[in-house]
Amino acid sequence: MDEAASHTQGSSFLQGQFLIAMPNLADPYFEHSVTLICQHDAEGCFGLTINRPIQVTVTELFEQLNIPVENESLKGLKALSGGPVQPEQGFVIHGKAIEKTWENTMQVTNDLYVTASRDILFDIAINKGPKNFLLTLGCASWVAGQMEAEVLNNSWLNCDANSKIIFDTPYNQRWNGAVEKMGINAAFISDVAGHD
């Protein structure tokens, strides 16, 4: 999915939005998921799920990649499953870095970026990377028209992405946080069954 991260930001329906799974969504992977939509155009939709921590820590992942770790703040930090597609590919969601660029970075919003090249990992490992970041393995993708159809079928809610939810909210509170950001009480939609 390196190719996806090389595209420049363009006008699109869901790019820069959170895709919030409705409780009636039957797919076990996407149940109560929150996905940052990084690109959405005529060819389809690409995103990274932000509330699916995996057992592998960032430090363990760096060790597997033979990247020496000097950054003590990484200790215990979980990597996330960004989606079921290409689970071996790493993506870093991060804020804007001052006077720093990496090889394969895509701007998602004014203050959110995704980088899919190894150079950012080396900088993170020595505490010279972005201040706020999430490391995900894999991504989520939809073919042209699929996501629009799923939204119309009441499988998803969507709202503007929010850095505080991505970087400052505990994983298990991100779904509720995204729903509440829309002004909706999460308890109110917990039993919604969707269209008959």
- Whether residue 195 is contained in a domain is answered as no
Of 59, 41, 10, 49, the C-alpha closest to 156 is 49
- Quick one: CA torsion of 14, 186, 114, 69, rounded to 10 degrees? -170
- Express each pLDDT in 56-71 by its tens digit: 999 999 999 999 999 9
Report phi then psi at 96, rounded to 5: -70, 135
Q: List, for residues 168-177, the tens digit of each pLDDT value.
A: 999 999 999 9
Does residue 104 lie within any of the structural domains? yes
Strands (E), 123-188: 133-143, 156-160
115 located within any domain: yes
CA–CA separation, 10 and 93 (whole Å): 18
Helix (DSSP H) and strand (DSSP E) numbers for the chain: 7, 10
Per-residue pLDDT at 195 exceeds 60: no
CATH number, domain containing residue 127: 3.40.1740.10
Who's near 173: CB < 8 A, 6+ residues apart? Answer: none
Q: Which domain holds residue 50?
A: 2-189
Query: For the segment 145-171, what is each residue's pLDDT rounded down to a tens digit?
Result: 999 888 888 899 999 999 999 999 999
The Cα–Cα gap between 192 and 70 comes to 47
Is residue 50 one of the residues assigned to a domain?
Answer: yes
Q: Is residue 72 part of a domain?
A: yes
Q: Work out how many domains the chain is built from and give that number.
A: 1
- Give the position of tokens 């010279």: 128
pTM of the predicted protein model = 0.88
124 located within any domain: yes
Write out the two tokens for 113.
Answer: 């970026």
Residues 33-86 have pLDDT tens digits of 999 999 999 899 999 999 999 999 999 999 999 999 999 999 999 999 999 999
pLDDT at residue 193 greater than cutoff 70: no
The answer to whether residue 194 is domain-embedded is no
CB 122 within 8 A of CB 67: yes
Tokens of 105: 């970075």
Residue 94 counted as domain residue: yes
